[in-house]
């Protein structure tokens, strides 16, 4: 009974401490926010650098199999990478500029179509029962306010954008040194770990590399493949702005289930300014792209990297989207994989130690 009382008291104390911390943070938020912004400005480039270096490791290993030194392999990989980026920029930038100019010319018709949709939606809302109409109107107003605030933040954040440009320009250099010195960094990190836990940590890191690495690499290759297929499909049906719209569809494809729907919406919006038949063609194309992605590309590229039930993925997306918006939708599944692998491994270790005792 005493042990049970102690457990409950300890839990209550932990909850009270968490609430106290939350209260202190809320009071000090005006002071903490600039500090967190600075930390975020440092973390994002570092995270991107680690991600790029991590994705390039298999190519370095592939070159090393051909009796190539590690440093030379890293240099070759980066030279090829920047050559490909340069070719893509040389080909893609003129196309994007041309399509941007075309978009500016047709902006009035697009805005007219959006205004027409807005009028239709408002008439639908007006026909709804009083409480429902009020609730929907409030939700739409909140969404409009968020969009306006984001746009104002982007337009007014020139100084902030300049800081981000400088920070992100360091990513290629950081990626190079992380890839070149990956063994030394790994050895030094391992020295910081407790000696008796080293084997367990190495085992967990290998599983993370296999599962999480396979998922991240697979998602990126899958997004590129979807973008390429989308561009081919939209170009064939002669939809304006096929290249940027295909890029949007590829980017949103990293979000399971709902990503393709979000990614297809801009294409449907542009199609609505062309003709009714173009909307049908875009819907058919989007459906066809999803069939190709689901039944051909995903099984081939992703393999069996994700062993998570679809219902769990949907719950993760709901929680991730609520907590961190678009970023939460993207990182919800890989973060869950990391937490699951680490917690399962250390739970097994704890059970084994209890059995040994």
Is the pLDDT reported for residue 62 higher than 70? Answer: yes
Query: What does the alpha-carbon distance between residue 210 and residue 212 come to, in Å, rounded to a whole number?
Result: 6
Give yes or no for a contact between 331 and 313, defined as CB atoms under 8 angstroms apart.
no
Tell me the angle at which helices 259-272 and 107-127 cross, rounded to the nearest 10 degrees.
110
In a domain, 121, yes or no: yes
Is the pLDDT reported for residue 153 higher than 60? Answer: no
Q: Which two tokens stand for residue 176?
A: 């190079």
Structural domain boundaries, residue 47: 41-182
Q: Which residue has the tokens 């040194």?
A: 177
pLDDT value of position 301? 64
Radius of gyration of the chain (CA): 25
| This prediction's pTM | 0.66
pLDDT value of position 65? 83
In a domain, 105, yes or no: yes
pLDDT value of position 319? 78
Nearest to 167 by CA among 57, 47, 330: 47
3-state secondary structure of 256: coil
Q: What is the band of 232 on the pLDDT scale with cuts at 50, 70, 90? A: very high
pLDDT digits (tens, 9 = 90+) for 63-108: 888 778 888 888 998 999 889 888 888 887 787 788 777 777 777 7
Q: Which residue has the tokens 């190079």?
A: 176
For residue 56, how far is the Cα from the chain centroid?
A: 18
In a domain, 315, yes or no: no
Is the pLDDT reported for residue 118 higher than 70? Answer: no
Q: Which two tokens stand for residue 16?
A: 């009270």
Q: How many domains does the chain have?
A: 1
In a domain, 333, yes or no: no
- Kindly state the DSSP code that residue 46 receives in the 8-state scheme: H
In a domain, 152, yes or no: yes
Most confident region among 66-70, 161-165, 208-212 by mean pLDDT: 66-70
In a domain, 78, yes or no: yes
pLDDT value of position 318? 79
In a domain, 298, yes or no: no
Query: What does the alpha-carbon distance between residue 268 and residue 279 come to, in Å, rounded to a whole number?
Result: 6
Give yes or no for a contact between 339 and 221, defined as CB atoms under 8 angstroms apart.
no
Q: What is the band of 356 on the pLDDT scale with cuts at 50, 70, 90? A: low
For residue 111, how far is the Cα from the chain centroid?
A: 29
In a domain, 89, yes or no: yes
Is the pLDDT reported for residue 177 higher than 80? Answer: yes
Nearest to 102 by CA among 269, 244, 250: 244
Most confident region among 20-24, 118-122, 236-240 by mean pLDDT: 236-240
Query: What does the alpha-carbon distance between residue 357 and residue 354 come to, in Å, rounded to a whole number?
Result: 5
Q: Is the dihedral of CA 338, 256, 103, 111 positive or negative?
A: negative
Query: What does the alpha-carbon distance between residue 288 and residue 285 come to, in Å, rounded to a whole number?
Result: 5
Our CA angle for 45, 73, 221, nearest 5°, is: 55
Q: What is the residue-wise DSSP string for 136-155?
A: HHHHHHHHHHHHHHHHHHHH
Q: Which two tokens stand for residue 61?
A: 């290993």
Q: What is the residue-wise DSSP string for 212-254?
A: HHHHHHHHHHHHHHHHHHHHHHHHHTT-TTHHHHHHHHHHHTT
Q: What is the band of 283 on the pLDDT scale with cuts at 50, 70, 90? A: very high
Mean pLDDT, residues 275-301 = 83
Query: What does the alpha-carbon distance between residue 176 and residue 62 come to, in Å, rounded to a whole number?
Result: 17
Query: What does the alpha-carbon distance between residue 42 and residue 343 come to, in Å, rounded to a whole number?
Result: 28
């Amino acid at each position: 009974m005493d042990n049970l009382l102690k457990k409950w008291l300890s839990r209550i104390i932990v909850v009270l401490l968490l609430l106290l911390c939350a209260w202190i943070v809320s009071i000090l938020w005006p002071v903490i926010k600039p500090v967190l912004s600075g930390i975020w400005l440092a973390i994002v480039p570092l995270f991107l650098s680690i991600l790029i270096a991590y994705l390039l490791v298999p190519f370095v290993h592939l070159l090393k199999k051909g009796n190539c030194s590690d440093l030379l392999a890293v240099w070759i990989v980066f030279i090829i990478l920047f050559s490909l980026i340069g070719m893509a920029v040389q080909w893609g930038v003129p196309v994007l500029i041309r399509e941007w100019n075309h978009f500016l010319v047709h902006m009035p018709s697009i805005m007219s179509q959006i205004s027409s949709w807005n009028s239709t939606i408002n008439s639908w809302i007006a026909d709804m029962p009083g409480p429902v109409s009020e609730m929907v109107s409030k939700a739409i107003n909140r969404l409009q306010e968020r969009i306006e605030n984001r746009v104002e933040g982007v337009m007014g954040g020139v100084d902030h954008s300049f800081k981000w440009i400088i920070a992100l320009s360091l990513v290629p250099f950081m990626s190079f040194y992380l890839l070149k010195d990956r063994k030394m960094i790994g050895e030094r990190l391992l020295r910081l770990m407790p000696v008796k836990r080293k084997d367990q940590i190495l085992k967990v890191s290998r599983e993370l590399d296999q599962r999480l690495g396979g998922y991240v690499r697979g998602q990126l290759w899958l997004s590129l493949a979807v973008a390429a297929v989308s561009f081919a499909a939209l170009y064939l049906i002669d939809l304006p702005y096929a290249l940027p719209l295909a890029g949007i569809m590829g980017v949103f494809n990293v979000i399971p289930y709902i990503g393709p729907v979000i990614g297809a919406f801009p294409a449907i919006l542009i199609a609505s300014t062309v003709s009714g038949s173009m909307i049908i063609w875009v819907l058919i194309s989007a459906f066809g792209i999803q069939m190709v992605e689901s039944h051909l590309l995903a099984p081939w590229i992703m393999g069996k990297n994700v062993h998570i039930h679809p219902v769990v993925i949907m719950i993760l997306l709901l929680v991730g989207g609520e907590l961190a918006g678009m970023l939460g939708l993207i990182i919800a599944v890989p973060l869950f994989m990391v937490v699951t692998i680490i917690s399962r491994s250390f739970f097994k270790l704890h059970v084994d130690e209890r059995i040994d005792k």
